[in-house]
């Protein structure tokens, strides 16, 4: 009972995964698990989540702009329908 269990992601696989996470390409946790399985490393969701949490990745927010005042935001607002104010 108890004791320390060795981390499943270690050695060359750890180094590869760190590089993979920081290379700027998009990834999902499920896809990273699949890529590790292709490399012969079986990990579960919890192990991958812990690994990513330790890496403290940053995520860029995509640029967005608010809806234009000229564009309708709901059906019927473009014409003289029941949702227009004037």
25-35 residue pLDDT tens: 888 899 999 99
Residue 72 has pLDDT above 90, yes or no: no
73 in a domain, yes or no?
A: no
Q: How many domains does the chain have?
A: 1
Residue 22 has pLDDT above 60, yes or no: yes
Residue 74 has pLDDT above 70, yes or no: no
Q: Which residue has the higher pLDDT, 85 or 3?
A: 3
Q: What is the mean pLDDT of the chain?
A: 76
Per residue, the 3-state secondary structure of the chain, as one string, reads CCCCCCCCCCCHHHHHHHHHHHCCCCCCHHHHHHHHHHCCCCCCHHHHHHHHHHHCCCCCCCCCCCCCCCCCCCCCCCCCCCCCCC
Burial class (CB in 10 A: 0-12, 13-18, 19+), 39: exposed
Structural domain containing residue 27: 12-55
Residue 82 has pLDDT above 90, yes or no: no
48 in a domain, yes or no?
A: yes
């Amino acid at each position: 009972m108890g004791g320390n269990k060795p981390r499943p992601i270690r050695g060359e696989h750890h180094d590869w995964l760190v590089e993979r996470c920081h290379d700027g390409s998009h990834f999902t946790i499920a896809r990273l698990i699949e890529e590790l399985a292709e490399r012969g490393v079986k990990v579960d969701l919890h192990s991958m989540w812990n690994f990513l949490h330790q890496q403290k990745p940053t995520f860029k927010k995509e640029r967005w702009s608010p809806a234009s005042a000229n564009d309708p935001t709901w059906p019927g607002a473009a014409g003289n329908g029941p949702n227009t104010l004037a």
